[in-house]
Amino acid sequence: MQNPENKLKTALLAGQVQHGLWLTTGSSLNAEVAGDAGFDWCLIDGEHGPNTITEMLPQVQALRATGTPVVVRIPQAEAWIVKQVLDLGVQTVLAPMVDDAAKAQEMARAMRYPPDGTRGMGAVLARASRFGGIADYPTSANAQMCLLVQAESAKAVENVDEIAAVEGVDGVFVGPADLSADMGYPGQPDHPKVEQAIDHLIARTLAAGKIAGIVTFDETRYAEYAQKGVTFLGVGGDALVLANALRNLAKRVKDA
């Protein structure tokens, strides 16, 4: 049995725009529906969704059945959480609130086995190795790991060059909502100064030869971000899509 290729990482490194959906409901059925819908990736949100490690597992399993690559956003940029997520078989991780190179390096090392990192050697017990079925997992896994760190503060904007330069950081993802709040413009991700900071983050990430990412629920901006060089592009969320569809249905029924 061979360690599976991280097809999302391969596509991103080839410069292909990959559109994805946020999963925040904690539902494996929703994950399965989303996985079959045609997105390039689906992200299980452990930061703002009701998703513990135990609750992530059935969603990871559901997405594997659909063939859609899985991304997990961990609740905090902490090494012990990375270890548990990777042992589920997840190959791509989004780490929130990474403000400097030291935290980025901590996350990069947490993603990889020694000598390149600090990931604990428990592969034979983990789903990631198919419970020991992938005999060379500890030596082949590192190459398939993909780490995206989230820049969402004024400090991260200042430190983006150092963050993007960290070996093992594959990309920098912009969090517009938290960035706007930290810059003093809560709820205004389209404020000119915030937009300027976003453009700076994207440009410096690309200059470092790394993957640039962002999320927007504004359909009119998808092409714009792609033109700016964003390839990891979040385009919606399961809870919001469902809520809007149900609201619209209820309104149509009452208006009929």
Residues 21 and 57: their CA atoms lie apart, in Å, by: 18
- β-pair partners for 70: 42
CATH classification of the domain holding 38: 3.20.20.60
**Mean pLDDT over each residue of the chain, to the nearest integer:** 97
Rounded to two decimals, the pTM is 0.96
Q: How many domains would you assign to the chain? A: 1
Q: Give the residue numbers spanning the domain of 239.
A: 7-255
User: Using one digit for the tens of pLDDT, what is the confidence trace for 42-100?
Assistant: 999 999 999 999 999 999 999 999 999 999 999 999 999 999 999 999 999 999 999 99
User: Would you say 16 and 231 are in contact if contact means Cβ atoms under 8 Å apart?
Assistant: yes
User: Would you say 94 and 43 are in contact if contact means Cβ atoms under 8 Å apart?
Assistant: yes
191 is catalytic: no
pLDDT of residue 256 exceeding 90: no
In a domain, 2, yes or no: no
Of 25, 11, 1, 62, the closest CA to residue 233 belongs to 11
pLDDT range class, residue 145, cuts 50, 70, 90: very high
In a domain, 1, yes or no: no
In a domain, 134, yes or no: yes
Determine the pLDDT at residue 163: 98
- β-pair partners for 19: 233
Which DSSP state fits 218? Answer: -
The residue annotated as part of the active site, out of 19, 48, 191, 200, is: 48
- Helices (H) and strands (E) in the chain — how many of each? 12, 8
In this prediction, residues 19-43 reach a mean pLDDT of: 98
Strand ranges inside 61-162, DSSP E: 70-73, 92-95, 146-151
In a domain, 214, yes or no: yes
User: Using one digit for the tens of pLDDT, what is the confidence trace for 146-177?
Assistant: 999 999 999 999 999 999 999 999 999 999 99
Residues 191 and 56: their CA atoms lie apart, in Å, by: 35
